[in-house]
Structure 1
């Protein structure tokens, strides 16, 4: 794509008209609309810590990069002294959820806006510890989740958990 086309595309995405002037279109604010999907043969006698599916009919999607118990803003290349992390899944899960909460808040969201999360663990046997912390932050809210065991996380060898997520918020017209 020619440089001019990229510039025009970026201006369009940013809502800018020619010479950086604001676009003249106006939009009404629309409340998000989501619904949980269940199978026809859903079992109600078991506790499900996630929703099988969620349909987003209206709202603004917010994509969150993976967070761990480590500080979100850290040196690259990594410096070992910046990764003094607790050794238990419970403690790392709390720090990870706090980092996720900060990112959600920075995007104008809360945990109840989550519709999907992927949770990467270095030891799936510690999933119950994660689930207890997860439930304490989300209460009764159940986004879709996928939990995957990995041999190591890229952030640091001491990290036990990484969570990436998608949220939906009201479309405020911006």
Structure 2
């Protein structure tokens, strides 16, 4: 039996969701961070969403297998869709690859404006884990699915009546936070145990209201947080989605992450050593000015900020396991990826790049969020 555990607050309603509300991962686990993958690296894409999803899943299956893992070891996925009407087809097709019907990873699904390859409609970002069977359950981290203002357990595909949400952003925020109040309490944690949070907003004019409500939960010691404006969320009428990771801070001895086995054409993947704490850094957004309007200076400024955060924690670029890059113009992706590669030298972290609507700083074109191995 795996030391990983799907957390269901109401097992009788588990059939309603194609994902787990939360997954418990022992602190002693190895983590495998896979780069976001689209259907292929060649120039031609099938327009059929089912075929695109199958190709993505096969690519990730190969990387997982090369590292002695499978889909029942996957703890969290990001689904990025350019058309939210594809959601049901995506989930049905993904389910073909899960050989254990009782296993579901945590999941965050968001709509984005564009992906790194023209014609790509679906990108999947994957995190897997391998834990010893005798792992101490008291030393655990909980990877939680993103939540909108609809109830925690709601039928997929959505029943329209369930998705009628108040337009008021204050009420939607209250409902999202109440969901996490429930999930955190169920696993015996509180907001002070949150190690990272990401907020996705369909209108960044709501940012101040949402940020204030979230800050009230965290008090004087908030965790690293990321904010981004995106195209659409999984529930009709939803204006924000929050996802969090919570649990023990981790005090095991660190270890340098290693290149994970992949295969020809596989995007980068990174494997942490057993017991190495996962370190979440705050998202860094460029601050445009007279000399930083273009993507080159903004990228340098952003990566300088990441370097400073790493140095504060006694880490170097070699410790970076995963980078999520959000750009407001997907044509900037190649420049940002090249600049990141130059900082990392011979090291290559797992990498996911998506185009978003806008960023929390007016005029910003790039934001980078990093996970490292402590």
TM-score, normalised with respect to structure 1: 0.63
2:188 equivalent in structure 1: 108
Q: Tell me, which stretches of 5 or more residues in structure 2 are unaligned?
A: 1-64, 74-99, 101-129, 251-374
State the partner residue of 1:77.
157
Question: How large is the RMSD of aligned CA atoms in angstroms?
Answer: 2.8
Q: Could you tell me which residue of structure 1 aligns to residue 198 of structure 2?
A: 118
Please state if 1:165 is matched with 2:244. yes
Alignment of 1:144-155 (within 5 A): 144-154=224-234
What's the TM-score, normalizing by structure 2? 0.31
What is the CA–CA distance in structure 1 between the aligned matches of 2:245 and 2:135, rounded to whole Å? 26
Name segments (4+ residues, structure 1) moved above 4 Å: 25-29
Distance 1:26 1:150 in 2: 38
Distance 1:147 1:165 in 2: 12
- Tell me how far apart the structure 2 counterparts of residues 83 and 115 of structure 1 sit (CA, whole Å): 29
Which structure exhibits the higher relative contact order, with contacts defined as CA atoms closer than 8 Å and separated by 6 or more residues?
1
* 1:1-174 matches, cutoff 5 A: 15=133, 59-154=139-234, 156-169=235-248
Q: Distance in 2 between matches of 1:63 and 1:14?
A: 18
State the number of aligned residues.
126
SS at structure 2 position matched to 1:109: coil
SS of the residue corresponding to residue 232 of structure 2 reads: coil
Distance 1:86 1:79, change over 3 A: same
- 1:13 Cα deviation from its structure 2 partner: 5.6
CA contact (8 A) 1:62 1:169 kept: no
Distance 1:92 1:74 in 2: 16
Output one character per residue of 1:12-51: Cα deviation in whole Å (capped at 9) or x when no partner: 9694xxxxxxxxx58696xxxxxxxxxxxxxxxxxxxxxx
Shift of 1:169: 2.6
